[in-house]
Chains A and B, each alone.
Chain A
Amino acid sequence: MSIFEDITAIQNIIYIVASILFISGIKMLGKEDTAVKGNFLSALAMFIAVLVTFISELENEPFILIGGILVGAIIGSTIALKVRMTSIPEMVALFNGFGGLATFLIAWSQFDSIGDHYFQHLLAIITAYIGGLTFTGSLIAYGKLSEKLKVVKTSIITKIFTTIFYGSILFLIFSILQPFLPEIGFNFFTVLLVITLLGGIGFVLPIGGGDMPVVISLLNSFSGIAAAFAGLLLLNNVLIVAGSLVGASGLILTVIMAKAMNRSINNILFVGYASASKGSSSEEQGEVSPINVADAFLILESASSVLIIPGYGMAVAQAQHVVRELGELLEENGTEVKYGIHPVAGRMPGHMNVLLAEANVPYDVLAEPDDVNPIMDSVDVAVVIGANDVVNPSATEEPGSPIYGMPIIEVHNAKTVFVLKRSMSSGFAGVQNPLFFKQNTRMLFGDAKESIGGLVSEFKD
């Protein structure tokens, strides 16, 4: 075990310092006032840990190491500085996948030098499995989020890969038990590496776009757990501490997202909406009342309180800047403006908050469902921009509905509701939305950016 001698006492002490910085960093990242500093501390911790490792490895092909870091730094920085804020979800998925790939490669490289130490055998297999699953799973999530990949849940390709995913779990169990089983005629570890990568595809492929906030949180957690296991494999304490922190934070976000949808994690990953319930309320619900921009303006102009509820449609239409402009004009007009943000609106946890922050909307006017629902009947106009399932009253009114029980923003209790929508298609859940047919609802059809832009110019005239 040469690893024991390589990690010297000094190196370990510096690792402990880095671990403390990581812990303080992630703690500060959880509060608005200290978040920037927290991210900096965590970056500093990373720098210290990498530097001391690098110094101790100088005799080990420094050119490979420096080359890898330099190229990685250039690629990573370029993507990070160029990416548009609407593309953040897929970019986080991509980076996450790369972290998973790195742990996958670590396990691959270490497996040959393990010998007959069973515990190391176990750790290498688990690290490879979680890392590999994170890598290809994140790539599929990236493809789905950036809409480069369109595969139907019921297609034969999805079924094949899903089967491989279940097969990969069986092979993982076999690999864990392998030292106790009779000799086999092939190199099982290579097979495990391949089937793991294919299994990761099958893990994420059947999961729909609306469930992505959960998947992306879970994959984030996996990459941390993989790093922590790699730390056990390499007997490296800073890897264990940092990896565990990430694993824990991803897990918390996963649970928050699942709760916001009132579904179990198991249901999201392995069942999906389609089989949740057989449409009980799909019959015709009456007529919708459309409205045009000029009439909508007149109502908004005389409103004393307005609540704006953004959804993924706002991101697609890139409407966050005109939305902020409309909010400011309303405030100048003496209207109280708030934003109602549902935790799973958009494609990743907190997606709407980032978009509105980009458009310079201060974060203290953003309210959560629990804050706005009790005062909903005092809201004059609720403006729903490209959101659907998160404002669907079936969740509170129809026990047979697939989304029944999901906490929503109860805009139907507002005096007037404007729904900005491109067409009458249903949301991700494929559930009809009775909100559109309510007495107090007016539909403003068209592209969200154009409709809001129209309202803004009416205000300016």
Chain B
Amino acid sequence: MENMEIYALLGFVLILSIYLGLELISKVPSTLHTPLMSGANAISGIALVGALVLSTDSNLQSAIAFLAVLFASINVFGGYLVTNRMLKMFKKK
């Protein structure tokens, strides 16, 4: 159990980030609900960073790592591009 300290620290980061997220997004105008959701969805593609560090020691692990990178990349590229496309359409009078 020598690593419990790091979990305490990272758990602290987790709680702070959730709190920060709730504060930042609580007053978003309804016009931006869809782009916000789609933009947040692109951010959840951060799983790509986790996918990149996966082990590739066995064939099965290599296949899992490849698929994880592939699907996370679709999420990242698709998410950001479609959000950008949507936001460009919003115009003021």
Chain A residues at the B interface, C-beta cutoff of 8 Å: 1, 3-4, 6, 22-23, 25-27, 29-32, 35-36, 38-40, 42-43, 46, 49-50, 53-54, 57, 60-61, 64-65, 67-69, 71-73, 75-77, 79-81, 83, 85, 88, 91-92, 95-96, 98-99, 101-103, 105-106, 108-110, 112-113, 117, 119, 216-217, 220, 223-224, 226-228, 230-232, 234-253, 256, 341, 343, 348-351, 353-354, 357-358, 360, 362-366, 368
Residues in A with CB closer than 8 Å to B38 are 88, 92
Residue of A36, A76, A237 near B76 (CB, 8 A) is A76
Beyond A81-B85, A363-B31, whether A42 also contacts B47 by CB under 8 A is no
Given A36-B84, A240-B13, does the pair A350, B33 have CB atoms closer than 8 Å? yes
A50 neighbours in B (Cβ, 8 Å): 48-49, 52, 76
Chain A residue numbers with a CB within 8 Å of B54 are 105-106, 109-110
* CA of A245 to CA of B17, assembled, Å: 6
Q: How large is the interface on B (under 10, 10 to 19, 20 to 34, 35 or more residues)?
A: 35 or more
The 8 Å CB contact of B30, one of A88, A216, A350, is A350
A-B contact count (CB 8 A): 366
Identify which of A224, A348, A358 gathers the most chain B CB atoms within 10 Å of its CB.
A224
Contact A73–B36 (Cβ < 8 Å): no
Q: Which residues of B are found within 8 Å of A36, using beta-carbon distances? A: 84, 87-88
Residue A29 contacts which of B6, B32, B44, B75 (CB distance < 8 angstroms)? B32
Q: Mark B46-85, 1 if CB is under 8 A from A, else 0.
A: 1111111111100001101111111111111111111111
- Contact residues in B for A363 (Cβ distance below 8 Å): 31, 90-92
Enumerate chain B residues within 8 angstroms of A27, measured Cβ to Cβ. 24
Whole-angstrom CA separation of A199 from B14 in the bound complex:
27
**Beta-carbon contact of B77 and A80 below 8 Å:** yes
B35 touches A96 (CB 8 A): no
Contact check, B10 vs A57: say whether CB atoms are below 8 A apart: no
CB distance from B93 to the nearest CB of A (A): 4
